[in-house]
Structure 1
Amino acid sequence: MAFPREEYDWRLGKARALMNAHGVDILLADCAELMTWLTGYAPSETMYRVVLLPKDGEPVYVLRKLDEDPCRRNNLVARIVTFEDHEEPQLAIAGVLQLLGMEKARIGVDFNSYSFTVRSYRRLMELLPQAVFVDLPDASDALRWIKSGREVEQLRAAAAIADKAMGAIVHDIRAGMSPRDAAAIAARTYLLEGADTGEVGPIVRSSGGHEFLHGGLGNDRLEDGDILHVELIPKIAHYCARLMRPIFIGQPSREMDETARMLISLQDQQIVEMKSGAVASQVDAILRQGLLKSGLRDAFPNVTAYTLGIYNRTPRSSDFSRVLLPTSDWPLETGMVFHLYASAQGLGFSETVVVTEDGGKRLTQFERRLLSSQA
């Protein structure tokens, strides 16, 4: 298990405090990240499944029979009720709620959960006509924004794998190799170092200003003068750290080095200001306005940071429930963790950063410069 029982007790208490604030009797959690956070385990969405958390008593996992064994081995807090594949998940869930005496309850659900479909909502209302479904806005994400010390350590361990994988790529990459070769180096390092999977992020030949960031993996051969953009996203116990670096194939020009130094300098200023209580939009402005004023970018449509933490295999590859934008009028809090990234002129740098009372602290530790295949 990634965490001891007391960690989950703290999380359940935090969830129950939210339930009490909204006057609900039981929480229906179906977002994979929240299910993992509450219990330590979440299966795929092959069939609908939930964790039911009453105000009193133990949580109940309701899931398909085939997932019972891994659930039993990977969760410390919930009892398990299963259904077979020919049975309807919503009917099984309604049956458990009735057994718990919750057929007339106020049931808290995050209506913004990607798992809580219109069909599931309507079917549960049909099966539980006397129940009241109460929206808990963004609860699936908001409960997890502030990380415990143990969670930060998991992210730190994932960040160390990102550092090692980046170093392996820089050591081995040469002209004539492809982005796919770099991805294979990273995946091998992930698995040897204990990551959950060998899944790497975007590793592509960069082009233009920042359009390359979400490019697809290719077999094109790298030539002298190319820039290989590497984003690494290793996970340990589902906790994902992220790291971006540009690797120049050959020897970069002085102008390119100066651009890299500008990006790094502005991002360093952001990290310094990521103190508990700082307004997110003001931290965002350091990089956004700095790059626009410098002329390195003539437009800035994207965020400068987004939330990191638990990343299950879900429809979304990044958690944008908390991001740095000009409209982000909320305060940073100690224990929040972000993927902070800066890009311009074909270069991209990023770090995994935790907010503290004294400013941001980098969990990723790889050297911050424009890397070269000839270094």
Structure 2
Amino acid sequence: MFARAEYDWRIAKARLAMASADVDVLLVDSGELLAWLTGYTVSETMYRAAFLPRDGKPWFVLRALDEAPCREKTWIEDVVGFADVDDPCSVIAEQVRARGFAKARIGIDTHSPCHSAATHARLATECRGARIVPMPGLSDSLRWVKSAAEIAVLRQAAAIADKTMLAIAQTVRPGMTTRDATATASAMFLQEGADTGEVGPVVKASGSHEFLHGIFKTDRLEEGDILHVELIPRVGNYSARMMRPIVIGKPSLAMRETANRLIALQDRQIEAMKAGAIATDVDAILRLGALSQGLRPTYQNVTAYTLGLYTRTARSSDFSRVLLPTSNWPLEQGMVFHAYTTAAGLGFSESVLITRAGGERLTQVPREILSANRLETPLRRTS
């Protein structure tokens, strides 16, 4: 996916963090950070890790079965495979000692989804003599600000989301089901170059905002129903995201009025998402605006969260940076967020890039309630 110069930039960024923590070698086991730093990632069927010294060449330790695909994807030349009968932590400790790090300071992101308390204790026992230095949150913080190359891939994913959303809106009809709409999206993802056909929530909306994480089931769609569609296409593990309500038939005047007010608030929020802005102030534009206008009785969820690289971990969304009333940190140029809002059965969201001038929408489907009879012309992308 990326040139070696891109990885050199990432390595330098990681080593700067290592210098700040005064560690000799970094153990990388987070699925996302493995992909970001090495170019290769794999599920944790058996424990695996890559190691980046502050000085010297890195190495990778993983199942022998995964050794060949790892060599194909990674820039790391030193790849060690172990048999399934071997204990991964024992093999890792042997490799640490063999490379002269028996008494080193080993940095580990203790917030990594792949670094359980049991794994930590096992490594501490196997690597006795070395000192484990917690670096909590490192796997996420290194990736908050995206490079130009990463943003280019996110634009590809956003384009797939755009095309797929319009395809659903143009084909859905009364009598069809949520499963039909999901099948359309899944096929479009694969045809357009997404990593997988995993779509995201496609459900019949109801109530205020409870539908957002609705359980997928086969619901028949009738005239007047709202189909809530959230698309999460990934390209090279980089995910863009977008939500739109699709009305079966023609949206009512009340729906359009609610949508216009919700969109206006979110437009203001996206405009304010500029480098240097304090996240809690940006959050307040939408949160307090929706509450003051009576669009929602309460607003307990985040209004945006970090977007980027997703792999096989226990989480499906990255909440390491979110917009909340307690988010007292500045937005940085190059960050990308999934900004979303819901009310009265309607949900709108965009993938938003932080720039000096304000938020730039990577997703570009018209910001309105969608219905088939209003989407006769193809989308024109502006970038």
**Short-chain TM bin:** over 0.9
Helix, strand or coil: the match of 1:371?
coil
Q: 1:155 to 1:78 in 2, by over 3 A?
A: farther
CA distance in 1, matches of 2:60, 2:365: 40
1:270 equivalent in alignment to 2:269: yes
CA distance in 1, matches of 2:172, 2:373: 9
CA distance in 2, matches of 1:178, 1:46: 36
CA distance in 2, matches of 1:78, 1:211: 49
- Residue number in structure 2 paired with 1:103: 102
- Residue number in structure 1 paired with 2:26: 27
CA drift at 1:100: 1.1
Q: 1:143 to 1:78 in 2, by over 3 A?
A: farther
- Residue number in structure 1 paired with 2:45: 46
Asked if the contact 1:52/1:61 (under 8 Å) is kept, the reply is yes
Return the letter of the residue paired with 1:221.
R
Asked if the contact 1:249/1:374 (under 8 Å) is kept, the reply is no
- Unpaired runs of at least 5, structure 1: none
- Residue number in structure 2 paired with 1:72: 71
TM-score calculated relative to the size of structure 1: 0.99
CA drift at 1:225: 1.2
CA distance in 1, matches of 2:233, 2:8: 27
Asked if the contact 2:42/2:312 (under 8 Å) is kept, the reply is no
Return the letter of the residue paired with 1:74.
K
CA drift at 1:354: 0.4
- Residue number in structure 2 paired with 1:134: 133
Q: C-alpha offsets along residues 339-358 of structure 1, whole Å, 9 cap, x if unaligned? A: 00011000000000000011
Helix, strand or coil: the match of 1:188?
helix
Q: C-alpha offsets along residues 331-375 of structure 1, whole Å, 9 cap, x if unaligned? A: 000000000001100000000000001101000011110112343
Q: 1:78 to 1:308 in 2, by over 3 A?
A: farther
- Residue number in structure 2 paired with 1:317: 316
- Residue number in structure 1 paired with 2:377: none
CA distance in 2, matches of 1:102, 1:27: 11
Return the letter of the residue paired with 2:370.
L
CA distance in 1, matches of 2:77, 2:133: 23
CA distance in 2, matches of 1:270, 1:78: 46
Q: C-alpha offsets along residues 83-140 of structure 1, whole Å, 9 cap, x if unaligned? A: 0111111011101100111111110001111111111111111112111111112001
Helix, strand or coil: the match of 1:92?
helix
Return the letter of the residue paired with 1:300.
Y
- Residue number in structure 2 paired with 1:241: 240
- Residue number in structure 2 paired with 1:343: 342
CA distance in 1, matches of 2:255, 2:119: 53
Asked if the contact 2:114/2:313 (under 8 Å) is kept, the reply is no
- Residue number in structure 2 paired with 1:84: 83
- Residue number in structure 1 paired with 2:380: none
Is 70-79 or 329-338 further displaced after alignment? 70-79
Return the letter of the residue paired with 1:268.
D
Return the letter of the residue paired with 2:201.
P
- Residue number in structure 1 paired with 2:111: 112
CA distance in 2, matches of 1:366, 1:73: 37
Runs (4 or more) in structure 1 with deviation over 2 Å come to none
Q: Percent identity?
A: 57
Corresponding pairs, count = 374
Q: C-alpha offsets along residues 231-283 of structure 1, whole Å, 9 cap, x if unaligned? A: 00000000000010000111111111011111111111011111100000000
CA drift at 1:78: 4.7
Helix, strand or coil: the match of 1:267?
helix
Return the letter of the residue paired with 2:297.
D
Is 210-219 or 152-161 further displaced after alignment? 210-219
Q: C-alpha offsets along residues 119-164 of structure 1, whole Å, 9 cap, x if unaligned? A: 1111111112111111112001000000000000100000000001
- Residue number in structure 1 paired with 2:302: 303
CA distance in 2, matches of 1:277, 1:79: 41
Return the letter of the residue paired with 1:18.
A
Give 1:330-369 correspondences, 5 Å limit: 330-369=329-368
CA distance in 2, matches of 1:117, 1:127: 15
Helix, strand or coil: the match of 2:321?
strand
- Residue number in structure 2 paired with 1:285: 284
Return the letter of the residue paired with 2:106.
I
CA distance in 2, matches of 1:78, 1:292: 55
CA distance in 2, matches of 1:59, 1:368: 47
CA drift at 1:77: 3.2
For the aligned residue pairs, the C-alpha RMSD in angstroms reads 0.8
Give 1:166-245 correspondences, 5 Å limit: 166-245=165-244
Asked if the contact 1:39/1:78 (under 8 Å) is kept, the reply is no
CA distance in 1, matches of 2:161, 2:312: 19
